[in-house]
Structures are given as C-alpha cells and as structure tokens.
C-alpha cells in the first residue's frame, strides 16, 4: 500500500473529513474539511466562468435575447417561433465580464439580420445573420475588453 509520509489510505470519505494543505498566507501546513475544500473549488469554477444555460424563445421580429450579467460563461439556446428579419443578442455588461468568459449561441430558425450588442465592450467578428441550426461562440479578452469570435 502506498503511503504519503506514513499516512494510511482512507477507504471512504465524509464531508467532515480533514485534508492537509499548505496555507500560503499562514506559511505552514494546516487542515480543512472536505466541505470547506468543495466550497472553495466551487468558487474557483464560478470565478473561472462555469457555464450557465439560458433560453430565449422570441415570437416576433426585432427581438432582443439578453445574456444574464454574470462572470459565468453562457450557452444561449435560441428557439424563435419562425424565421425573423431581425434580432439582437445583448451580451453581459462589461462590468460583469471576466477574461476567458465565453458565450455560445445556437439558433433553431433563420435570423436574417443579427446584431450582437457588446453592452459596453467591443465585439469583433460577430455574425450578422444566423442560419437555421446555426451557432457561434464568442470569447472575452479582459485586457482589451473585447469579445472575439472563436467558433
């Protein structure tokens, strides 16, 4: 059986179990519960842009589908009731955006004239139309404050 500094291997885990770690702020080795560790890892996922699925089902031309203001990446499923002449996708407000955040949009119908509104940020390479079953992905650059089309 492999050991680390002569520690035994746990055969099962519970939320209150303790794990060892080096606490940089304190400059020594400490312990924390698995519950605390899991909560910390969840905040890292959120800060790094964990993905949220959003839905919009426009019923008229000239619609606006708004991506929620958040640092999370978003997957927008756009299901218009038919082919529309115009529509807008409003990205998260610039103050909410974080470096590396993505927005992926998929659409089930044709949108002849599409506007992607950066909501305070610049948008480079956004599509100007969507085909039925079309999709695209934008990624935010936090240094330049620009959304770039990456897919």
For 38-86, the pLDDT digits (tens) are 666 655 555 444 689 999 999 999 999 999 998 889 999 999 999 999 9
Joined together, the tokens standing for residue 45 give 């996922």
- Residues 122-132 have pLDDT tens digits of 999 999 999 99
Q: What is the pTM of this model?
A: 0.68
- Residues 57-69 have pLDDT tens digits of 999 999 999 999 9
């Amino acid at each position: 059986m492999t050991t680390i500094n002569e520690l035994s291997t746990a055969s099962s885990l519970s939320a209150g179990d303790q794990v060892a770690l080096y606490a940089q702020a304190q400059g020594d080795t400490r312990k924390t519960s698995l519950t605390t560790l899991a909560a910390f890892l969840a905040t890292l996922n959120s800060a790094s842009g964990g993905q949220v699925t959003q839905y919009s089902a426009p019923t008229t031309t000239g619609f606006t589908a708004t991506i929620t203001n958040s640092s999370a990446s978003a997957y927008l499923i756009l299901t218009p009731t038919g082919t529309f002449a115009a529509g807008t996708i409003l990205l998260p407000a610039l103050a909410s955006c974080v470096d590396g955040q993505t927005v992926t949009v998929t659409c089930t119908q044709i949108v002849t004239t599409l506007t992607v509104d950066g909501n305070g940020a610049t948008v480079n390479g956004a599509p100007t139309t969507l085909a039925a079953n079309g999709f695209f992905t934008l990624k935010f650059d936090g240094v330049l404050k620009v959304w770039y089309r990456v897919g």
